[in-house]
Amino acid sequence: SQTIHQWPATLVQPVGSPLSLECTVEGTSNPNLYWYRQAAGRGLQLLFYSVGIGQISSEVPQNLSASRPQDRQFILSSKKLLLSDSGFYLCAWSPGGGITEAFFGQGTRLTVV
Amino acid sequence: AQTVTQSQPEMSVQEAETVTLSCTYDTSENNYYLFWYKQPPSRQMILVIRQEAYKQQNATENRFSVNFQKAAKSFSLKISDSQLGDTAMYFCAFMKHSNTGKLIFGQGTTLQVKP
């Protein structure tokens, strides 16, 4: 069966510091991968998605970037964090091709201080 | 662009009773999927139920069922025999039929099941 791992679960970082959140999927190949952000008490907003290695699409302009160095690995990064980057970040995957649903990781709560 | 609206920020229901959560959406697409996700206090997003737009029959998963009104662009979730474990935030989401699988979420409804 397929599983998705996301870490760390919580992170407190000072303003101006770098960020790296990692997500890996097991038990499938060539998945679509996604990073979503959830502001406090709000719905999820899609930040990035990837349909293949090295293929990254950005949905909203922001201080963050994403990379997909391997088929089942998706990384969310920032060179210098802003206070506004605080939030709950969720990685998700979908089967490639005929996509009918998405499966989510357990999320990372990021607090920028 | 597609939008999803959940007009009920908070709802409560007594244990064992039935509750309905509302969702409306706007799209010009004809082929798409609709979802209800549950987010308990653990923050894990759990898929509750999925509806394919081309299917007229409403989806059902045990105590969870939907009322899908395509013409009205309405997609409500009914929870029967509510249980304490149903306490969570519920999100309605839209996915266009494509190879990208991007989800568009509503703002969420916080449901409290009372003993």
pLDDT in tens, B33-53: 999 999 998 888 999 999 999
Residues of chain B with C-beta less than 8 angstroms from the C-beta of A96: 99
Query: Do A90 and B45 make contact, defined as CB atoms within 8 angstroms?
Result: yes
**pLDDT class for B1, splitting at 50, 70, 90?**
confident
Report CA B25 to chain centroid distance, whole Å: 11
In a domain? residue A13: yes
Per-residue pLDDT, A1: 81
Residue B108 has a CB neighbour count (10 Å cut-off) of 23
More confident residue, A101 or B95: B95
Of the candidates B94, B96, B102, the one whose C-alpha atom is nearest the C-alpha of residue A49 is B102
In a domain? residue A30: yes
| Domain carrying residue A40 | 3-94
CB burial of A77-103 (b: ≥16 within 10 Å; e: otherwise) equals: ebeebeeebbbbbbbbbbbbeebebbb
Token pair listed for B32: 């798409």
The Cα of A36 is separated from the nearest Cα of chain B by a number of Å equal to 9
Nearest CA in chain A to B33: A100
Is residue A96 over pLDDT 80? Answer: no
Nearest CA in chain B to A55: B100
According to CATH, the topology of domain B3-114 is Immunoglobulin-like (2.60.40)
In a domain? residue A106: no
**SS3 (DSSP) at A111:** strand
In a domain? residue A109: no
Query: Do A92 and B105 make contact, defined as CB atoms within 8 angstroms?
Result: no
CATH of the domain at A61: 2.60.40.10
If one counts the domains in chain A, the total is 1
Using the Cβ of A32 and the Cβ atoms of chain B, whether some distance falls under 8 Å is answered with: yes
